Amino acid sequence: MIDLKLLQKDFDVVSAKLMRKGVDAKLIENLKTKNEELKLAKSDFETLQAAQNSMSKEFGVYKREGKDVGALKAKVDANKIKITEALEIQRVKQEELETLAMSIPNIPDDNVPDGADENDNIEIRKVLMPKEFSFTPKEHWELAEKNGWIDFERGVKLATSRFSVSFGMGARLERALINFMLDFNRQRGFEEVSVPALVNRAALEGTGQLPKFEDDLYKMQGQELFLIPTAEVPVTNLYQDEILPEDKLPIKMTAYTSCFRKEAGAAGRDTRGMIRQHQFHKVELVTLAKPEQSDEIFSEMVTCASDILTALELPHRLVTLCTGDLGFSAANTVDIEVWLPGQATYREISSVSNTREFQARRAKIRYKDGKKNSFVHTLNGSSLAVGRTLVAIMENFQNEDGSIDIPEVLKPYLGI
């Protein structure tokens, strides 16, 4: 959640930054109205409280001097009722502002480039050059069918569209990739954790998926439990509503989970193949850090994800997201896009974000900063999306006859 104190202190500056992210002007105006209503409610309460304090002092003087306190007592009692009413109005206005603020995205960092959508993102650099094929490269669904690695029709039979079943080497490669990624991240200092695939509403509110993206989530009937859209949710919320010792930070974690998304907002996109599935495997990086640590750790997490692709010999590029393409909770994001020769384009395979205090404020994750408690910075990133990595291997390591080679670093995981 955005810092309401900062909002109240300098509304115009904060609203200008939110408008860079495409927040609707009416929503910002509503936020301003709620903010002004709260300030007025606080002022009314403080005025009444000041009057009460003044009358209380006067009451003491009257009693010492033996004056009749009847009329003054009636005024004090009447003012007490007004204070109670004013305090309730202030509470309601505070709640209304906080409820509205839950639907407001994070403020983008000042160095995030302005832009409307993904077309305005800025390339940082390319890593590895795409291979030149002496034949026309096939797309992954053709290769999957030819090699018997992935069966999309059986996925539909078992569930519905955008589900798939992996067989043989396809299934073994998925497992090999998961183990390789976890081992790689662990060697970079990220502790491996295993978390539930179901979380409660508070966890999803803490990381910003709720209330905005409820239509994209799978919810358990009759329970306030949801299938996770990413391991970021349970891993970040491991420390929900806790105050951490300063010397424990940074806390760097990695986790493998299955992830579940309805992709309600993606109708018609990537309906064929494994690029956009309702269930997919992903290895995630999550870090809780002190504010002064987060920029360095952000760079470290981007490098870690990129280095996995380099180890797999997969060409990719790093891209800074513009304000219009930035996620709800993110203050700054670098996407990593892998080269897919079958499509002759780069496609997102990892997204690494620094959310600053935004998620920590919602999830109440703090640390002991000297004598006071401060919010941590939370960071998260895919390292990597397993299905898309498998797609990239299939397309980049294909041969003219449709067979697929195996990256050297995965051979030990396959017993080759």
C-alpha pair distances (Å), 381 with each of 252, 257, 299: 12, 13, 11
How many residues does this entry show for the chain?
416
Mark whether 348 is an active-site residue: yes
Mark whether 353 is an active-site residue: no
Closest CA to 360 of 236, 255, 246: 236
What is the residue whose two structure tokens read 């919320």? 237
Distance, in Å, from the CA atom of 156 to the CA atom of 130, rounded to the nearest integer, reads 33
Alpha-carbon Rg for the chain in angstroms: 27
C-alpha pair distances (Å), 384 with each of 21, 281, 315: 26, 9, 14
Helical residues (DSSP H) of 221-319, grouped into ranges: 232-236, 294-311
Which regions of 35-161 does DSSP assign to beta strands (E)?
A: 122-127, 150-151
Choosing from 313, 317, 348, 374, which is the catalytic residue?
A: 348
SS3 content of the chain, % helix, strand, coil (to 5): 50, 20, 30
Mark whether 276 is an active-site residue: yes
Distance, in Å, from the CA atom of 18 to the CA atom of 111, rounded to the nearest integer, reads 14
Per the CB < 8 A criterion, the answer to whether 314 and 347 are in contact is no
Provide the 8-state DSSP code for 215. G
Give the number of other CB atoms < 10 A from CB of residue 231: 26
Q: Helix or strand or coil: residue 5?
A: helix
Distance, in Å, from the CA atom of 260 to the CA atom of 199, rounded to the nearest integer, reads 12
DSSP string, 160-179: -TT--EE-HHHHHHHHHHHH
Choosing from 175, 188, 201, 276, which is the catalytic residue?
A: 276
Mark whether 175 is an active-site residue: no
Closest CA to 311 of 227, 392, 216, 366: 392
The binding site consists of 230-232, 261-263, 284, 348-351, 380, 382
* Token duo for residue 322: 């513009």
Choosing from 353, 357, 388, 395, which is the catalytic residue?
A: 388
Q: Helix or strand or coil: residue 342?
A: coil
The binding site for ATP consists of 261-263, 348-351
Per the CB < 8 A criterion, the answer to whether 324 and 22 are in contact is yes
Q: Helix or strand or coil: residue 317?
A: strand
What is the residue whose two structure tokens read 């205090």? 357
* Token duo for residue 98: 């906080």
Choosing from 20, 261, 356, 362, which is the catalytic residue?
A: 261
How, if at all, do strands 345-354 and 332-340 pair?
antiparallel
Q: Which residues are catalytic?
A: 261, 276, 348, 351, 388
